[in-house]
Chains A and B, each alone.
Chain A
Amino acid sequence: MAYIQFDKVNKFFGNNHVLKDISLEVNQGELVTFLGPSGCGKSTLLRCLAGLEKVTSGVINLNGVNITDLAPQKREIGMVFQAYSLFPNLTVEQNIAFGLHILHMDKKTIREKVHQVLAIVGLAEKLKCYPRQLSGGQQQRVALARSIVMEPKVLLLDEPLSAIDALLRRNLQIEIRRIQRELKITTLFVTHDQDEAIVMSDRIHLFNMGVIEQSGKSMELYAHPKTRFTATFIGNYNIVKSQEFGGLTGDTYACDVVAIRPEIIEISKVQPQGEATYCLKGEVCSHIPHGNIIRYTVACGDVLLNVDRLFDSSLLPQDHDIVYLSIKKENVLELN
């Protein structure tokens, strides 16, 4: 039996139907990500689980108990917010001890727990600092410590890294994953960043306009998108109308569009051979470096295709060069 169950959860804000019959399950100890663009309902679902929003209809079960109408204080759920939400008037120690004081724990136990959790997040020396004296990354680690010290049944992370710079963000992604695995906390993570979702998650639920577009393991979603939206949101797929693509390849497709990942397209100045491969002739429109890859935009007739190639200074096609693109037939995904 799943640890967390959402059963046909609906949420309306006025006339706005934000969550539409959401049903999903999360197993104990998993890190599951709700991924999707702004306004897709992912944070709302998280807040419904926390009890900060009431569901309009549907049931939420946690460890076999119906918590749909339970007060947030009684759900034993921890939450880290995008804006940290540390209490500015309290020190790091007082912030972390806040929830423990409410449980009327004795001072010695509180002190021990606070020290333990600060050691886990690597901020033992910041015990007496106020939030304003910490960097964004440190504040977010304190917020994480404040949640995990309560030993919650579930930890909710609502876009906790979106206000942090790129380098620190990557480090914190790894850090959060390490802590989650170490403590085996069932964790729900909300983000709109597909890379972050792929790095951190055991499973991803991709949200779009209040419904789950696709669920699965990171690589499954990346390599086998089932809808056009998934292909666009994860993996920067080239989406081409099947008729247009058929005009280039000579094949016919029983679908609306075909999706091709930019990195599986081979680009060469020499015409390649092979029966199971489409070979398309085109002209390089532009090439833009993206860190360790170069993204080419190639015009094949009226169709523009993005092609990613690892940065290699030798024999790089230049703008206006005539090139050949080879695509294995099994890598052309047919979507509706």
Chain B
Amino acid sequence: MKSKRTLATVYLIAVSFFLLFPLLITCIFSFVTSWTKLIPNGWTLEYYQQVIGQANFWPSVGRGLLISIIPVFISGLLIILTMYTSVLYYPWVDRVVQAICMLPHTLKGVILALAVLSMYVGSPTVLSDRILMLTMVYCVAILPYIYQGIRNNLDAINVQNLVEAAVILGSSKLYAFFKVIIPNMITGIMVSALLGMSTLFADFAIVKILAGGKYLTAQQLLYNSRSMPGQLVSVIVLILFLIVLLISAGALVIQNIGKKDADKAVVED
């Protein structure tokens, strides 16, 4: 029994090391002056100073974040409202919604971007606006992640029963959905949103096609840095990773604070 547990522990440590190894090496490499032997030749913070000191670094990070958050918010809201309608009023619509939301999986983002660009670029309307095009393409590209995450959560709770219970107590279906159903799905929604956001934050192909040089994001900056020293690229990768990590941690903290506030409100009542 004990040997099996030891074996399991060793296995878990090995897998964790394997998964974290690239990140660890990137992190070490970002601090070295040069690395020509088994161990690095020297240590420096110079590359961090260079990256952080770049005038366009933080604005590009901000733009990357913004263009990741807005489509996630729009798609999430659309999916939630669609599911509210389909689950409670038109259950047959659900299959159609699922098929539509899964379509982007079969269509590569680059193809989608090129198709949208060729269709709307000459339009005299607001639809030819590159940033709008980018936002809308991102909304479509992350639909599968957002839909599936929310769908899985919705399947785990008996929506019909809970809404009926709330309706019997005098609530409207809409109130019941937002007061009872959504709070029970919040973890799934957050996970889907983060997954969608990190996918968009890591994109540089679609943004390059649709926005070109008009909307420089951190990923584009990373792409443009490929001819620079490897340490500089490592620093950018590491900073971007930390930003995504902080966003995830922040979301979890907000979620826990929300829960604690709700508990506190009950106590004060």
Contacts and interface: CB of A to CB of B under 8 A. Distances in A.
A36 interface: no
Interface stretch (A6-14, A89-97, A274-282): A89-97
A79 interface: yes
A78 B166 CA distance: 11
Interface string A76-98: 01110101011111110110011
Nearest to A107: B269
Given A89-B184, A94-B266, A83 B161 contact: yes
Contacts of A79: 164-165, 168
Interface string B144-185: 000000000000011001101111111110010000100110
B181 to A, nearest CB: 9
Given A89-B180, A89-B184, A99 B169 contact: yes
A17 to B, nearest CB: 22
A77 B269 CA distance: 27
Interface residues of B, number: 22
Nearest to B162: A85
Given A50-B168, A73-B172, A85 B269 contact: no
B266 to A, nearest CB: 6
Contacts of B184: 87-89
B162 A87 contact: yes
A98 B266 contact: no
B258 to A, nearest CB: 11
A72 interface: yes
A205 B115 CA distance: 66
Given A87-B180, A88-B157, A91-B266, A102 B169 contact: yes
Contacts of B262: 89
A102 B167 CA distance: 11
B38 interface: no
A150 B165 contact: no
Contacts of B180: 87, 89-90
Given A81-B161, A85-B161, A103 B269 contact: no
Contact of B169 (A107, A111, A150): A150
A87 B165 contact: yes
B111 interface: no
Contact size range, A: 20 to 34
Contact of A77 (B164, B168, B171, B175): B168
Contact of B170 (A83, A87, A103, A107): A103
B170 A102 contact: yes
Nearest to B169: A99
Interface string A142-160: 0000110010000000000
- Choose among A79, A98, A111 the residue with the greatest number of B CB atoms under 10 Å from its CB: A98
A286 to B, nearest CB: 43
Contacts of B228: none
Contacts of B19: none
DSSP majority for the B interface? Answer: helix
Interface string B30-46: 00000000000000000
A89 B177 CA distance: 12
B173 to A, nearest CB: 10
B171 to A, nearest CB: 5
Contacts of A72: 167-168
B267 interface: yes
Contacts of A88: 157, 184
Interface string B177-204: 0001001100000000000000000000
A60 to B, nearest CB: 16
Contacts of B165: 79, 81, 85-87
Contacts of A86: 165
A73 B162 contact: no
A89 B184 CA distance: 6
B206 to A, nearest CB: 37
A50 B169 CA distance: 11
Interface in A107-130: 107, 110-111, 128
A73 B164 contact: no
Contacts of A107: 269
Contacts of A99: 169-171
B92 to A, nearest CB: 14
A163 interface: no
Interface in B218-244: none
Contacts of B167: 52, 72-73
Interface in A11-27: none
A127 B261 CA distance: 17
B89 to A, nearest CB: 14
A72 B176 CA distance: 14
A88 B184 CA distance: 7
B266 A128 contact: yes
Interface string A229-246: 000000000000000000
Contacts of B164: 52, 79, 81, 85
13 contacts: A72-B167, A73-B167, A73-B170, A79-B164, A79-B165, A81-B164, A87-B184, A89-B262, A93-B266, A102-B171, A102-B175, A103-B170, A128-B266
Given A81-B165, A85-B165, A150-B169, 4 more contacts: A52-B167, A72-B168, A83-B161, A94-B266
